[in-house]
Structure 1
Amino acid sequence: MQADTGGVLTVTQLNRRVADLLSGHFSRIWVRGEVSNFTQAASGHWYFSVKDDGAAVKAVMFRSRAQAVGFVPRSGEKFEFRVSVGLYEPRGDYQVQVESMRRAGQGDLHEAFLALKEKLNAEGLFDPSRKRVPKPLPQAIGVVTSLAAAALRDVLSALARRAPHVSVIIYPAPVQGLEAAGRLNQALQQAIERNEVDTLLLVRGGGSLEDLWSFNDETLARTIAASPIPVISGVGHETDFTIADFVADLRAPTPTAAAELCCRSRQSCANAVETALAALTAQQRRRLERCAMRLDRATALLVSPQQRLRRQGEHLQALRQRLARSALRPHETRAARLQMLNARLVHAQPRPAGLRNEVHGQLQRLVSALDRDLERRRQRLAVSVQTLQALSPRNILERGYAIVRNGNGNVVKNALDLNVGESLSIEFGRGSVLADVTRTHDLL
């Protein structure tokens, strides 16, 4: 491109021409360098510088590109960047736009990581609906890691502090090296076959992509996905991501965080129990108060046996008096009639001498009839008295019978109306008892 010597360019025109020149000659090239001054904006864009021993250039990686990386770079780490070169025209700053990145010397590993991630994601192994929710109160927790790993000490320390009542079973396996992926897969399968824990923790400390590569194994990922026991991954630092993190049921940023996520703390459980106990106590107290009020109302309505017998005795006495009056009334009527007839006879005296014997005979028959009628009424009265005495509740109870009442004070006539455990009041001829129903049966 030749310079235009015939005209004067504005700064904007100059920067635009330089930007076109850079983008036309340096499009999608690979640059190796070290990250410095890394900043992640609230928008999700990454701003940093790429430098080597002799120079530095500003770089930007927009959010849509940064999300596909799978990790967050740290200052001082070396990477290979696929970039397009441009110019930020408002300030005239020369910069590169990063489209993708990989660790320096590990480009093939990163490409393999992205390929496997895309493959397993397409198969649905990362689908949240497939993942299981770990038990909040497990009885035993399994830890798959190296016995010499610092991550194991962090996990055991966190569990001893939060949930010392939970058993911990370690399934040892190397977490780095050529055989690490296979050994991790064997340890995980052993834990699944033994089925002695409620949750599995797959953990190790941080490191480079090469250090964490055993957790990017496809076989291990499929074993995690097929595990009937929920798996929580805690691999590396918060910015490290592995295939095991994506396929696990729950991803923790660190091993310690994995130990905190796998179960509730003993203190939180104790607080929940205390809250439930307080609510139960209050509910029980309210129920007892309601029962006491019902008992008071029932007691107020209950009539004592002595009071009831006294009322029945008074009624019986009234019946006796009425019966006595009923027996005397016919005799008095007949006597009055006889007196009237005598008066009429004396007044008329149609045959004073001839009818005297007849009158005397009729008088004798009348007296005999009156005596017989009076005797019959006395016998009926005696029978009535005996019947009343036989029907008296007190006499019935004296013969060995009893009156059974339920908790509401109602007389029980059928054993099938009772329930096992129900309280009964049993009244005898002398005294009463309280009893509980232990069994009921009908007459055969």
Structure 2
Amino acid sequence: MYSSSNSSSTTLTVSQLNRQVAQLLEQQLGRIWVEGEISNFTSAASGHWYFTIKDDRAAVKAVMFRGRAARVGFMPKAGEKYRFYAAVTMYEPRGDYQLQVESMERAGIGDLHAQFEQLKNKLAAAGLFDAEHKKPLRPMPRRVGVVTSLAAAALRDVVTTMQRRAPHVQVYIYPAAVQGAESAQQLCLALGQAIADNQVDTLLLVRGGGSLEDLWSFNDEHLARLIYASPIPIISGVGHETDFTIADFVADVRAPTPTAAAELCCTSHAQSNADLLGVLRRLQQCQDRILERASLRLDRTTARLVSPQQRLGQMRQRLHLTEQRLQSVSVLHRKQQQLDHAWHRLRRCLPDIRPMKQRVHELPLRLLQSQLLVLRQKKQALHVAEHTLDALSPSAVLDRGYAIVRNDNGAIIKNSLDVNANEQLQIQLAQGHLLVKLKQKHDLL
């Protein structure tokens, strides 16, 4: 390694100097942890990642080779903050030192991204992103305004697309810087001028792709509120399809690219011609249907027209039919009179049925009275039979002091010859039963 003791006597080439500086960096620093925000991120076709790590005061270039990048597990985003484990190296041909990142992990969202999320949440809560506030686009505008930089490739894309798709539409350009410290203010002035002129039907706010820092002027709060208050519909076409800015959320329509914004702002010339031809075809079809219906009505009207002679013949025929109907009415009138006369004669011959009706009304009452009388007599006879039956029942006999004697089999004993001494007997009383054993019996001689 080169030392100060022989610095005055040794002359180094640039390659030797860079090599010794590289060795010094590797020996003194080795592998370290670095925290910072990613910008200018590029994923090469080879699979290597190239980016810049920065904070608010400095920046350093970094590379992460394909094998290590494949093990990260996520795709880094510009504007976000990470922690990197890297070796400090020098690219000797240019004398630039850089970090060879071996691994990385999330360390939180970067400052710009944090500001973006904070402003996005604030404007969303204020209703600037609400769909009901979005203004519809005019399908066939006559004049279109473009707010962008005169040197931007986005302007060339928009003008080329408009000339190809809709050459009949006039394009008004309101120039403004789209990147840098004063770009947000210039964008507000240009957009305000376009709104004040009120010369266009649709406004395009466009810019090409870039990092979060490059697109930062489109995240300005004043610009967002100006877009929200614009009476003219605004299409935002900022960056590429994956880029989002505050202007995209506030605009009435968000296009993924400037070219797409030019395509969305109006119907193409070819499509307009096709639509016009379609309208003409439908108009011709409607006209043909109207003529066909008119022709049918004319044919029906012509068919109903008749000559005076034919009309007179029809009227004579109707008159003849009317006379016949009048004659029929006269015959019917006479028949009706004969019927009425026969009806009166029939009524005089009818018998007087009122007494019979009275008798019929009385018969149910008499029948009911007879039924009640018979029922009362039957109840009295039943009551007498019940008393007679009660007097002859065994229970009534038992109540007078008698008893019923049965053997073990339950047979009633009527003769002393039917039992033997020491035989068990059952005696039924009016109240309860007795179980006795016969000691002695006396037979009747």
| TM-score normalised to structure 2 length | 0.50
Give the TM-score normalised by the residue count of structure 1. 0.50
From the CA coordinates, give the structure whose radius of gyration is larger: 2
